[in-house]
């Protein structure tokens, strides 16, 4: 079984256990999903409506996580508004005890600070990690998990960063790339110099630890 932490497109493959991202305005048409307000898609006029939908969805057994949500300093939406929306969602994750799949661009300090201040008490997973060893260590030291996918396939330097992440703290994903999760696993196994079956066992264990299922 291949476990895919985060994808926007269901594969329909019975050998893949995947958490499919579903925004508040998207129908639930997949076995397992996550629900959240992405900073790119904050609609201030519909914020209360979207938060209500997310709260309803977080109570569904097949909603495995809140997300993706987070902070992005490279978009026009003011960071202050992004933080307000992010914090409201973290309080929902805390209430319903759901892990959080995080979108974070150039705002790692802010995400770490908010997590320390709100103490949601749930697993926090940075999806699509693409940064250096120093950023990875800082996140890991603060209890975050790291999920690798697109950039592991595109950036050869990331393999060394991924190879040093402790076994119990990483996931793999496809996000919106065309490549399959099996291709991501192959690259990840190569980066850690291990066979795919061992890698599958590690990620299966990590899924069961964080999502209490699988």
Q: Is the CB of residue 176 less than 8 Å from the CB of residue 191?
A: no
Give me the count of residues in the chain. 214
Q: Tell whether 50 is in a known binding site.
A: no
Instruction: Check the annotation: does 175 bind a ligand.
Output: yes
127 annotated ligand-binding residue: yes
Q: Annotate 50-85 with b (16+ C-beta within 10 A) or e (fewer).
A: bbebbbebbeeeebbbbbbbbbbeeeebeeeebbeb
> Is 56 known as a binding-site position?
no
Long-range contacts of 51-56 (CB under 8 A, 24+ apart): 51/88, 51/89, 51/92, 53/24, 54/24, 54/89, 54/92, 55/92, 55/96
Sign of CA dihedral 16, 17, 18, 24: positive
State the Cα–Cα distance between residues 185 and 177, nearest whole angstrom: 14
Q: How far apart are CA 104 and CA 148, in angstroms?
A: 13
Q: List the binding residues for a divalent metal cation.
A: 68, 103, 127, 175
Give binding residues as ranges: 68, 103, 127, 175
């Amino acid at each position: 079984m291949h476990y895919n932490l985060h994808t926007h497109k269901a594969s329909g493959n019975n050998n893949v256990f995947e958490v499919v991202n579903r925004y508040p305005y998207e129908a639930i048409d997949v076995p397992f999903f996550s629900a959240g307000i992405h900073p790119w898609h904050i609609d201030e006029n519909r914020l209360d409506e979207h938060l209500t939908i997310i709260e309803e969805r977080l109570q569904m057994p097949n909603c495995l996580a809140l997300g993706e949500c987070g902070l992005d300093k490279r978009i026009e939406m003011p960071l202050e508004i992004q933080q307000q929306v992010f914090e409201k969602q973290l309080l929902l994750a805390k209430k319903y005890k759901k892990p959080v799949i995080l979108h974070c661009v150039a705002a790692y300090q802010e995400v770490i600070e908010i997590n320390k201040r709100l103490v949601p008490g749930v697993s926090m997973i940075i999806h699509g990690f693409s940064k250096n060893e120093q950023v990875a260590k800082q996140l890991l030291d603060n209890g975050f998990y790291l999920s690798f996918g697109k950039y592991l396939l595109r950036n050869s330097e990331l393999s060394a960063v991924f190879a040093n992440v402790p076994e119990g703290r990483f996931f793999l994903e496809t996000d919106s790339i065309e490549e399959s999760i099996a291709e991501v696993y192959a690259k990840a196994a190569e980066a850690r110099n291990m066979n795919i079956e061992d890698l599958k066992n590690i990620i299966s264990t990590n899924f069961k630890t964080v999502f209490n299922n699988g």
